[in-house]
Structure 1
């Protein structure tokens, strides 16, 4: 997938070193785990991401690189994957629902790249996969991620206190997506 500034390609084993570098930054992982991750922890997460990406054709994880630059820097990753978690819909019993997420290097924050990648994946989800609904989660005090979700057309639907503290869920439905993008 190409956007104005990003090349999004499916996550593969060759991207593990980039993931390890990304998760080694405690600012990047602050709202996810509250600390940097070890290389072994990232290897385990990488395998889980690859497994989730294989569950449903067309869903998965993509790594993003800036295109048009000589060194083609690694920006981060985006996902449009089967929902997971004990309070999330099960893809097998609720097909047409996917979970959106992303993680970017801090040097690429506040440049619109997270939203640019989000819009590309949401377009793929609704246009190519005919999804009915896409959800996303963030910690309640992660206002940056919530801003990306709103910029991508998602609406806050609920909040709750999870294992790691107060969380929020955003969503965009197929109807809302096409209402916004076909006018």
Structure 2
């Protein structure tokens, strides 16, 4: 399958329907989903009817998808996914960066490696002007990846959670990196 992006250790490729089992395993790990839905399980039906269609969506302004299945280059092992999705389907100016990796991939620098590669591609090839990312304020690991990827703290806010989960009472944080700031620090 054609890779969208490769780094020293990662291959980011388009999702296919054949990834349903990988997504089911990823989204059913309570540790992976702790800051997403409080660690609740996800059904196969939800993966097939909600998750996969979102991950397979093409964004005309980028001429590509906004979510990428991620594999370890050396082994082909599915590690999770990265998001680099325009906030507006018709404008690549502002994209949201995100990542969801399985526990075996944590602590190895994969999230930072993939994020840096996507940011570089966005600013050099895709016409991106601003990268934004957000997470729960208590998600220190994700916040650290954002900082290592060059994003800076922008604001603290309170999201509208359909169901409160542990830590949501502390709110969320948004980080950002503009093309101008990125260019100054290269």
Q: Normalising by the residue count of structure 1, what TM-score does the alignment of the two structures yield?
A: 0.87
Distance 1:55 1:39, change over 3 A: farther
Matched, 1:105 2:105: no
Task: Say whether 1:125 aligns with 2:131.
Answer: no
Matched, 1:41 2:46: yes
- Give the superposition deviation at 1:148: 0.4
Alpha-carbon distance between aligned partners in 1 of 2:85 and 2:93, rounded to the nearest angstrom: 11
1:74 alignment counterpart: 78
Corresponding residue of 2:59: 54
Match of 2:173 in 1: 168
Structure 2, unmatched stretches of 5+, are 162-167
Pair 1:177 & 2:182 matched: yes
RMSD (CA atoms): 1.5
Runs of 4+ residues deviating >4 angstroms: none
What is the total number of aligned residue pairs between the two structures?
Answer: 171
Does the CA contact (< 8 Å) of 1:59 and 1:82 recur in 2?
no
- Quote the offset at 1:54 in angstroms: 3.3
2:140 matched to 1:135? no
- List runs of 5+ in structure 1 lacking aligned partners: 84-89
